[in-house]
Structure 1
């Protein structure tokens, strides 16, 4: 009897190298990320903003996954040496393969360019644009049967997103390109626009300090959304609490946030009513200060009613 039941589809499927799936250096999260990438056609541009949206995870997490993949040799980052990045253009181009040797062989010309700054990039037309639909390089190209239509290219989608946001908040895009270019490596475009709207003169050093403080707030369970908190803090509408609350209170916030998430998931199972869930939550939180519990109770109630 077969315990691993395999399909025999002749279309709408992907092939993946077993050596990648069985690599013990890759955790389940990285393997899932790699499987998602390999399901895309060869000309699909790896874009951090779009991956964050499609996978419903934060941009920071996407960057961590990519950086780990690069460390393990399954991805390669090609950074174009340009002073300014045009609208809708990517400065960093990412290459992925489930075969390290194939990735190294395929990206060898780019690696050579990276170590030879005087070499003209005109010899590599595919690097001049984020679209890699056609390649004029005489190097092996990764070819895998994919779940997507191979004629599809996501470059135009990315440009459309940028253009729509630019049209909405055109006045905010008159800021210096240096800070905007820096922010694009960390934040999504909507957050960048909102941030520069409330504080158009923010410097890179100011942002670094603000971002660090917001992350501490988030890790301590004092805010629910890093990007929203960042914009509020930049506008002066957020009071940082991480540095003023003691360690014991921080532990309580973490516990309450954990209970909040637990009961949201518990409610989704459908075994208890909304009122039963709220009662259970309050009963478990009786030993904590009411002022600390109240915001989490209110949020839980809103989540259950939504």
Structure 2
């Protein structure tokens, strides 16, 4: 036995992960970030990076997952592509994340997405009655609201947001820039707790068919121009339990007949169940995971 080697390496031929040394030894990354990145690299290349699934698998909070992802984006090892919010289907993830332990490869691979400057969603703005007709509808709306965003940012010091910018950072993870401007114009002193309640109610309002657009409902509710009509009842809870139980059984059967990994099945389950109450989904997620692992 060679006792001169202090790093004992096993030359695996299966079930192993290759890591780029420049990532593993990047001193600008915390050990926590490197560990998070290594966990992502251990997944198949077609594995969807789902923050909700990561939170459950790693047993960490939502804010922690968000911070880790944002830090990797800031360091250049992750790229976030936001889907067209107007055409996102119910249950679909609004953001697609790409991770690579090689910055140059990540930039090259995601270059087509970075070049796409098409606005993600037509802005909603309350109180605008006239816009010049010298440009196409999409261009004039975009230019108009860019000016509005710039104007609103320049006037930050005259608002309550000057002393508390955390709400804007928080909203950027959920809403597009135009909706954020409209929301904060409607209620400049909006807090994160108030927004969380409004967003949950607007989501339920949308899913129950009482509004056509969550963002529009949010802005109107913040300005006091929307009365929520949807209420959660015991019957709704019973129905949700029945639906989630059925989805667990469905994905167990699907796993037995399809060529999907357990992680892919769990990811599909979470993506499809985003519209239901989080704690309830988490409970059935754990049930599905335990049953999959016992197979």
Question: TM-score when scaled to structure 2?
Answer: 0.43
Question: TM-score when scaled to structure 1?
Answer: 0.42
